[in-house]
Amino acid sequence: MRMLHIIVLPVALCHCTLIPDYVRPAAPVAARFPDTSGVSNRQAASLPWRQFFAEARLEKLITLALANNRDLRVAALKVEKSQAQYRITRAASFPTLDGGLSYSRSQLAGNTREEWQANHGSAAYEVDLFGKIRSLNEQSLQTYFATAEAQRSTQLSLVSEVASQYFFIRKTEELLQLSQQTLTAVQGLYELNQARLDAGESNELDLRTAEGQVQTARINILTYERQVAQGYNALVLLIGASIPSHLSPARPLATSGLLASIPAGLPSDLLQVRPDIRQAERSLLAANANIGAARAAFFPSITLTSSAGATSAEFSNLLDSARGTWSFSPKINLPIFNGGQLQANLDVAKVSTRIEVANYEKFIQLAFREVADALVATNNYAQQVTAQAALTESQQRRFDLANARFLSGEDSYLSVLSAQQDLYNAQQGRIDALYNTLASRISLYKALGGGWAE
């Protein structure tokens, strides 16, 4: 016990550290996002993804992804690895204590000698007078926290990717359905032209024009069928499992309430809720702690080692205190000359911290841009949906008039062809605008750190 007291007593002296005081760098962005008042009592981070994504079918797919996605699984394992690494580093803060037992048999000048040796306790401890070990512990702890933030960032990205991929598939399915409807319409026009040609009321040019529309519609169907199949393949990879056969029916892209509204908040909110920004700050704190370890290396270090044991020719007498041995060896290491290595290590630590500051500021600027872009896109696409709906209605009316004039013999089939192509393009544009609106809102949710609090 006396040996342990000698080793543990200096622990009380180890309270200082040479880690520089940390001051969070100022955010190098504007105080508000453009095109919004930016004031809200609620952050997107406090909006759970189950409330943001209101469709039961999508909710099931996201749940599967969170349980099975391999990238997310690797991110979680990296957190466990980082936690174990921190425990390894932290172990240096405590004394080590070992024990052992050995036996030897020798012969000299005809005499046989047997000896048992027991090491009751061999202890070692480095007195952390200048906080080198504590600084390394802090560095390892902040690295662990940074890894945990990386896991949250991976989860947020995964939720957004699954939702975006799902709505991309829905968009492609609606485009496929539109192409199938168009094929039905142009097939009817082709048959009508064939009948008119047989009756001598039309010409072959109109027939071949209508035939070209049929083949174009068939090509579009094949294209969208391929894209749908590939989209589902990508979705299976994201969720890490087969898509369940019994899912809730999909809702059209034009359905209101597929996504909840999102409060923009202030740019300063991003510092607390964006996992990538929090990860960058943890890396900065780790680099800052490394400066403390590099500074402490300039000062002397004290290592205390001791041992206690016994020797005996008989195993039964090993515990006899009269045969016991002990030793205590304090050691002081003082750096005198190392060719500038310690100063170079400190310079590296300081420059590394400046690099992490720049990275931290870059992540803030990137987050600000992502939010600003998503806000602009969300507002713009919402207006585009309205414009596309009006354009589709106008082109539908134009096609109906052109088709009526053609059937009555007042106009050529070319006017029908032009009107039908413009109507198809307008209908495609409306579906694209609906998808882009949803995709931009998902991007905004992700950019604002949506669901982080969950």
Identify the pLDDT of residue 33. Answer: 80
Identify the pLDDT of residue 8. Answer: 45
User: For residue 383, which of 438, 442, 437, 424 has the smallest C-alpha distance?
Assistant: 437
The reply to whether 321 falls in a domain is no
The reply to whether 442 falls in a domain is yes
**Tokens encoding 93:** 């803060």
Identify the pLDDT of residue 11. Answer: 47
Cα distance between residue 159 and residue 144, in whole Å? 23
The reply to whether 3 falls in a domain is no
Q: What is the CA radius of gyration of the chain?
A: 37
Give the other-Cβ count within 10 Å of 55's Cβ. 20
* CATH number of the domain that residue 161 is part of: 1.20.1600.10
User: For residue 169, which of 239, 104, 114 has the smallest C-alpha distance?
Assistant: 239
Identify the pLDDT of residue 400. Answer: 93
Mean pLDDT by 10 residues, the chain (454 residues): 44 68 90 62 73 92 96 94 91 80 73 71 80 91 95 94 97 97 91 86 84 93 97 96 90 92 77 90 95 90 76 60 67 82 93 95 93 91 95 95 88 87 95 96 90 65
Cα distance between residue 388 and residue 369, in whole Å? 27
What is each CA distance from 76 to 18, 142, 147, 153, 357, in whole angstroms? 33, 16, 9, 11, 26
Cα distance between residue 261 and residue 437, in whole Å? 12
The reply to whether 189 falls in a domain is yes
Q: Quick check: 105 and 113 in contact, CB under 8 A? A: yes
Identify the pLDDT of residue 393. Answer: 96
Cα distance between residue 343 and residue 294, in whole Å? 8
The reply to whether 280 falls in a domain is yes
User: For residue 308, which of 126, 127, 118 has the smallest C-alpha distance?
Assistant: 118
The reply to whether 317 falls in a domain is no
**Tokens encoding 325:** 């041995």
Identify the pLDDT of residue 199. Answer: 83
What is the domain range of residue 208? Answer: 16-95+130-300+338-447
Identify the pLDDT of residue 68. Answer: 96
**Tokens encoding 48:** 């759970």
The reply to whether 5 falls in a domain is no
User: For residue 379, which of 134, 87, 33, 50 has the smallest C-alpha distance?
Assistant: 33
The reply to whether 333 falls in a domain is no
**How many domains is the chain partitioned into structurally?**
1
Cα distance between residue 122 and residue 109, in whole Å? 34
Q: Quick check: 39 and 260 in contact, CB under 8 A? A: no
| H or E element at residue 184 | helix 132-198
Q: pTM for the complete prediction?
A: 0.84
The contacts found for 76-81 with CB under 8 angstroms, 24 or more apart, are: 76/151, 78/147, 78/150, 78/151, 79/144, 79/147, 79/148, 79/151, 81/147
Dihedral of CA atoms 158, 159, 162, 168 in degrees, nearest 10, equals -120
Q: ∠ CA(29), CA(35), CA(39), 5° rounding?
A: 75
